[in-house]
Amino acid sequence: MKLTSKNKTVLLKTILHCILFGPAAWFFYLAVLNQLGADPVQAIIHFTGLSALKVLILGLIVSPLAPKVKMIPLMQVRRLIGLYAFFYACLHLLSFFIFDLQLDWSLFISEIIKRPYITVGMIAWLALLVLSVTSPMFVRRRLGKRWQSLHNLIYITVPVVILHFYWSLKSGWVEPLVYLIITLLLLRYRSQKISRLFSRKIKTTLLKN
């Protein structure tokens, strides 16, 4: 039986739910069984943060990949992938706040101010919050042309997340560098769009002045 476009989208979303949510369910199951090693708190924080970064990069892959696999409605699932990135980012932040800081708000604020890698991480989380809140179709219709300008923020957010990851490591730079290279290659695919965006911003600023 030949699948309709709608059925293909439903099937693809179902597969993505399994792929993107499955690791979180399995990891927290291991946490309940105390199978995360000597430092389970850091294991959870590291896993959720790295998962958020990986899913963000997956979202960047969709646009260049979509024209090459026209039989699969990839462009229909970009929002789902973005929401999963925010889901993992929220788990990352909550794990840090609950397990590491023991729900201490004053310490949380102090850490944001004193530690640059946490400051950068919070900036990235706030950016993902804005993108997630404005992702529904009715918000997109209401924002009009401003919606695309707002969601171009993702091109800055991913490198910021990589910077947060790099600064959070006590040692090692190879893994962040790999993610940065992959991100830059994916952003190169959008180089004309990004250059037009910044040119427009510069012209708007000059006209205002």
Structure confidence by residue, pLDDT tens digits, 107-151:
999 999 999 999 999 999 999 999 999 998 888 889 888 888 888
More confident: 145 or 100: 100
Contact (Cβ atoms closer than 8 angstroms) between residue 117 and residue 168: yes
**Among candidate residues 103, 124, 102, 109, the one with its CA nearest the CA of residue 52:** 124
What is the chain's mean pLDDT, rounded? 86
pLDDT digits (tens, 9 = 90+) for 48-75: 999 999 999 999 998 778 777 766 677 7
Q: What percent of the chain has pLDDT over 70?
A: 88
Segments making up each domain of the chain, as ranges: 5-208
The pLDDT value given to residue 206: 45
Give me the phi and psi of 190, to 5 degrees please.
Answer: -105, 20
Average of per-residue pLDDT across 85-97: 96
| Residue among 133, 127, 128, 52 nearest 96 (CA) | 52
List the one residue out of 119, 135, 40, 126 whose CA is nearest residue 89: 126
Do 78 and 154 form a contact (C-beta atoms < 8 A)? no
Q: What is the pTM of this model?
A: 0.87
Nearest Cα to Cα of residue 49 among 15, 80, 92: 92
Could you give the angle at which helices 78-95 and 5-32 cross, rounded to 10 degrees? 10
